[in-house]
Amino acid sequence: MKVRDAMTKEVKVAREDSTIEYVANEMKNLNIGSIPVCDINNKLLGIVTDRDIVVRGLSQGKGGNYTIKDVMTTNPVSVSPETSIHEATDIMSQNQIRRLPVVDNGTLVGILAIGDVAVRDNFIDQAGDALSSISEPSKPSM
């Protein structure tokens, strides 16, 4: 099975100049924890998570009027629609992330969440293994 078969195709995106407050409210309204950041042509520029907003934003004195560009993760890990589900869950595990933007020639075409994999009967074990690895505490670098 390929990522294209399991990904969410309708994805809410933010622009770099969106305010932290606007994106946080979108996350709340949609009950999601991350939003890809794209330009007007849907080229993936980054991703912002609820954790980014707190750790890189609010805890650093950047309130709701700052822009997402101030707190987003640039150059996010992503996959193509043709990536296998097995490879995608390995990438999630290795990078300790729960959501992968799906890009085709740099353009966002979807997002694959660990939950998208977990609801597929033949991938329940892989999703569980990936979630275990994602949830492990990071080892401090020496």
SS3 133: helix
Q: How do residues 83-108 score in pLDDT, each as one tens digit? A: 999 899 999 989 988 899 999 999 99
Cα distances from 1 to residues 57, 58, 86, 107, 128, in angstroms, run 38, 40, 8, 22, 17
Residue range 101-129: mean pLDDT, rounded? 76
Dist CA 78 CA 12 (whole Å): 16
Let me know if 136 is exposed, middle or buried by CB neighbors in 10 A (0-12, 13-18, 19+).
Answer: exposed
Dist CA 139 CA 13 (whole Å): 31
Fold topology of 3-135: CBS-domain (3.10.580)
Q: Sketch the domain layout of the chain as residue ranges.
A: 3-135
* pLDDT above 70 as % of the chain: 83
Dist CA 100 CA 110 (whole Å): 9
Whole-number pLDDT of residue 137:
56
